[in-house]
């Protein structure tokens, strides 16, 4: 299907990778990992044919299509969301628009029949179902008719992801696909990619996502690309074995890999009571991390924090007619570790902005303790000067910072421990990659030595080794911690309670990490199992509120198609269940039937959700 032969690439004199040979076949699931700046995104662009390699060749079999989702996709602003997603098959979009006009006029039935036949021939109605399912599951349903230019950056990225999924290329390349997705959308995307017919290659920092999807792991390290068979847990296992062979003295650190492997293999219930004892990390064995972490834990000595941290009483905040939270009370205690989860647009960032004093609530009272020194890692990197050198940018915050053991860490040493080499330390901030700037901004916040720390989507644009550094820091952090994140691994690792935005007037407190919360939702009443609340509208002044509406002509057509498809799927489900019951001794037949049944159930659930949405509008 796709083959790389002897690929090599340099950027600004730095070799990113060389001598890469790789073959992709249908059903392959590859994860690409490595530190920020090692060349992961460039590697995907080479595979996609968007960047020429310096040496070697990329061969794609005749008739096979390659699809690519970049980190910063460009989506045409004049189109509506639905048209932008349908445009993934742009050759039939004009045909569809003509079909709509003729159908609405109702005058030329012969031409309508011709158009319908042509649309069926090119598979447009099947594409339409795929597109609408993707838009619904990615939280774009309420804005399918909104112009792209009125959407937020995160929503535009979800439109681009829906485009890429709707195309169904033979090879699907995804660069950080979980960025700007909420946890429910990530769960859906996991299931979708597991059942994807083609090959998938992705760059992602989401370790649960990697572990549950990938069949091979590509690690880019010091210009070498190494392929490990198996998922992320298998990668950790193999790395520990290699390290044991290379260094007998590393046996103690290798046990940390096995602990993480054991933790990943356990279900949420098994982890719930001993979670903190099973989160010892494996990344110390990575060469970059090992050099900088050996002999020193990053446990900064935060300033003394009094008994009173933060008290919020009856906080309310709305934007126009959109209410985010109302009469919300919150007390943060010294040493408390709290996560925030919920759909995109539900108010997570707004709550952090209000609690940080950056945004005024509509009503309510906020009191902050006199000893509080707040560190706020937001999503904007708003405090970085592109004209400063990296080390000078950090020195503007502090020349050094005290450690919990009484020692002092200089700015240069802190940069080393967060994977900034000597060369990078003297590079201008404006020349850093997006991930490197995000890492520097994180380091600025930590270097200020706060005793209360707010983190807003800290995983976005950070690589796995940097997340390991951050999590190690948070393990030893003595202050109060509040994290808004879609990273399920990070939440399981670092928090003890959650604030869950679930569509009501106030977020709900939940004990435990994200896996505990997911288990509670799974075991909740049928009403609680209903499809997640769609993401709320972006905060733009000229947005009009979404009005109740009737089915459009194309939605009526989609509803009819879904009813036929669901009936066929339910018939096939009965047939497969009969096979499972009658072929108990035929392992091959049972396995094949079981795999088909599991995929069928997943697809049927998605179709039923979309059918219920359309049927409600039809009433």
pLDDT in tens, 463-495: 888 888 888 888 888 889 999 999 999 999 999
What was the pLDDT predicted at 97?
Answer: 72
pLDDT digits (tens, 9 = 90+) for 17-44: 999 999 999 999 999 998 888 889 999 9
Q: Is the pLDDT of residue 144 over 90?
A: no
- Section 391-405 average pLDDT: 85
Which stretch of 145-154, 175-184, 248-257 has the lowest confidence by average pLDDT? 248-257
Q: Is the pLDDT of residue 335 over 60?
A: yes
Residues 408 and 374 in one domain: yes
Domain annotation covers residue 315: yes
Residues 463 and 601 in one domain: no
Domain annotation covers residue 360: yes
| Strands 310-319, 363-368: pairing kind | antiparallel
Residues 595 and 498 in one domain: no
Q: Is 265 exposed, middle or buried (0-12, 13-18, 19+ CB in 10 A)?
A: exposed
Angstrom distances, CA of residue 359 to CA of 221, 330, 352, 353: 42, 16, 9, 5
Residues 516 and 610 in one domain: no
Cross-strand partners of 322: 319
Identify the CA nearest to 609 among candidates 282, 191, 250. 191
Q: Is the pLDDT of residue 328 over 80?
A: yes
- Number of domains composing the chain: 3
Residues 6+ apart with CB under 8 A from 104: 553
**Mean pLDDT across the chain:** 80
Residue recorded with tokens 């708003």 = 382
Secondary structure (3-state) at 366? strand
Distance CA(599)–CA(195), nearest Å, equals 6
What was the pLDDT predicted at 288?
Answer: 42
Distance CA(487)–CA(208), nearest Å, equals 9
Residues 514 and 389 in one domain: yes
Secondary structure (3-state) at 484? strand
What was the pLDDT predicted at 286?
Answer: 45
What was the pLDDT predicted at 59?
Answer: 93
What was the pLDDT predicted at 546?
Answer: 40
What was the pLDDT predicted at 345?
Answer: 80
What was the pLDDT predicted at 58?
Answer: 93
Domain annotation covers residue 303: no
Q: Cβ atoms within 10 A of the Cβ of 402, count?
A: 15
Residues 6+ apart with CB under 8 A from 395: 411
What was the pLDDT predicted at 209?
Answer: 93
DSSP state of 8: E
DSSP state of 358: S
- 152 pLDDT band, cuts 50/70/90, is confident
Q: Is the pLDDT of residue 273 over 50?
A: no
Residues 390 and 456 in one domain: yes
Residues 481 and 587 in one domain: no
- Section 401-427 average pLDDT: 84
The CATH number covering residue 335 comes to 3.40.50.300
Identify the CA nearest to 268 among candidates 517, 516, 520. 516
What was the pLDDT predicted at 449?
Answer: 87
Domain carrying residue 578: 553-618
Residues 435 and 560 in one domain: no
Domain annotation covers residue 12: no
Q: Is the pLDDT of residue 322 over 90?
A: no
285 compared with 258, residue with greater pLDDT: 258
Domain boundary among 484, 511, 527: 527
pLDDT digits (tens, 9 = 90+) for 210-238: 999 999 999 999 889 999 999 999 998 88
Residues 427 and 490 in one domain: yes
Q: Is the pLDDT of residue 76 over 60?
A: yes
Residues 611 and 498 in one domain: no
Residues 435 and 378 in one domain: yes
DSSP state of 19: E
The fraction of the chain above a pLDDT of 90, given in percent, is 32
Q: Cβ atoms within 10 A of the Cβ of 521, count?
A: 16
pLDDT digits (tens, 9 = 90+) for 337-380: 999 998 888 889 999 999 999 999 999 999 999 899 999 998 87
Domain annotation covers residue 429: yes
Distance CA(88)–CA(474), nearest Å, equals 42
Domain annotation covers residue 119: no
Secondary structure (3-state) at 375? strand
Q: Is the pLDDT of residue 525 over 80?
A: no
Q: Is the pLDDT of residue 93 over 80?
A: no
- Section 159-172 average pLDDT: 91
- 403 pLDDT band, cuts 50/70/90, is confident
What was the pLDDT predicted at 193?
Answer: 93
Distance CA(162)–CA(85), nearest Å, equals 6
What was the pLDDT predicted at 556?
Answer: 74
| This prediction's pTM | 0.70
DSSP state of 303: P
Domain annotation covers residue 465: yes
Q: What phi and psi, each to the nearest 5 degrees, are found at residue 559?
A: -60, -45
Residues 347 and 482 in one domain: yes
540 compared with 381, residue with greater pLDDT: 381
Domain annotation covers residue 417: yes
């Amino acid at each position: 299907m796709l083959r790389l032969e002897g690929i090599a690439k340099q950027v600004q004199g730095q070799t990113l990778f060389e001598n890469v040979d790789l073959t992709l076949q249908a059903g392959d699931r590859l994860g690409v990992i490595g530190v920020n700046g090692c060349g992961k995104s460039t590697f995907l662009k080479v595979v996609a044919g968007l960047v020429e390699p310096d040496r070697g060749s990329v061969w794609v079999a005749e008739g096979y299509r390659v699809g690519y989702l970049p980190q910063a996709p460009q989506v045409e602003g004049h189109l509506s969301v639905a048209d932008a997603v349908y445009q993934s098959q742009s050759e039939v979009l004009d045909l569809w628009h003509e079909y709509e006009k003729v159908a609405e006029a109702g005058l030329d039935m012969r031409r309508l029949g011709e158009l319908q036949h042509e649309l069926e021939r090119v598979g447009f109605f099947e594409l339409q179902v795929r597109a609408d399912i993707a838009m619904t599951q990615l939280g774009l349903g309420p804005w399918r008719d909104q112009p792209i230019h009125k959407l937020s950056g995160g929503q535009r990225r979800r439109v681009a992801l829906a485009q890429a999924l709707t195309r169904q290329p033979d090879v699907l390349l995804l660069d950080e696909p979980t960025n700007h997705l909420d946890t429910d959308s990530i769960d859906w995307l996991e299931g979708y990619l597991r059942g994807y017919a083609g090959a998938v290659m992705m760059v992602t920092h989401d370790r649960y996502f990697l572990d549950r999807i990938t069949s091979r792991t590509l690690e880019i390290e010091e210009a070498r690309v190494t392929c490990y068979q198996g998922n992320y847990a298998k990668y950790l296992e193999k790395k520990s074995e290699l390290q044991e062979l290379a260094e007998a003295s590393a046996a103690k650190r290798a046990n940390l890999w096995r602990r993480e492997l054991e933790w990943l293999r356990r279900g949420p219930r098994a982890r719930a009571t001993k979670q903190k004892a099973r989160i010892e990390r494996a990344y110390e064995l990575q060469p970059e991390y090992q050099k900088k972490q050996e002999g020193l834990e990053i446990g900064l000595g935060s300033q003394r924090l009094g008994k009173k941290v933060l008290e919020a009483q009856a906080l309310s905040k709305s934007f126009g007619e959109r209410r985010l939270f109302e009469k919300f009370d919150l007390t943060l205690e010294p040493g408390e570790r709290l996560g925030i989860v919920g759909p995109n647009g539900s108010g997570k960032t707004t709550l952090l902005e209000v609690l940080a004093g950056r945004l005024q609530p509509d009503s309510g009272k906020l009191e902050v303790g006199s000893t509080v020194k707040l560190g706020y890692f937001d999503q904007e990197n708003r405090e970085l000067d592109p004209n400063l050198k990296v080390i000078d940018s950090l020195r503007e915050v502090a020349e050094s910072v005290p450690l919990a053991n009484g020692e002092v860490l200089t700015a240069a040493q802190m940069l080393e421990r967060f994977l900034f080499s000597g060369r990078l330390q003297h590079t201008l901030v404006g020349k850093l990659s997006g991930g490197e700037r995000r890492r520097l901004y994180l380091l600025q916040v930590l270097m200020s030595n706060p005793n209360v720390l707010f983190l807003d989507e800290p995983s976005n644009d950070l690589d796995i080794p940097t997340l390991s550094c951050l999590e190690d820091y948070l393990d030893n952090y003595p202050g109060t911690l509040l994290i808004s994140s879609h990273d399920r691994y990070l939440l399981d690792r670092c928090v003890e309670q959650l604030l869950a935005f679930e569509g009501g007037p106030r977020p709900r407190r939940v004990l435990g990490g994200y896996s505990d919360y997911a288990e509670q939702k799974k075991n909740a009443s049928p009403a609680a199992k209903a499809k997640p609340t769609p993401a709320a509208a972006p905060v733009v002044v000229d947005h009009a509120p979404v009005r109740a509406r009737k089915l459009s002509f194309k939605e009526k057509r989609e509803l009819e198609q879904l009813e036929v498809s669901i009936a066929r799927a339910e018939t096939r489900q009965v047939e497969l269940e009969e096979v499972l019951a009658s072929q108990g001794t035929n392992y091959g037949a049972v396995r094949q039937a079981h795999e088909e049944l599991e995929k069928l159930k997943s697809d049927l659930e998605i179709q039923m959700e979309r059918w219920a949405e359309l049927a409600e509008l039809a009433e």
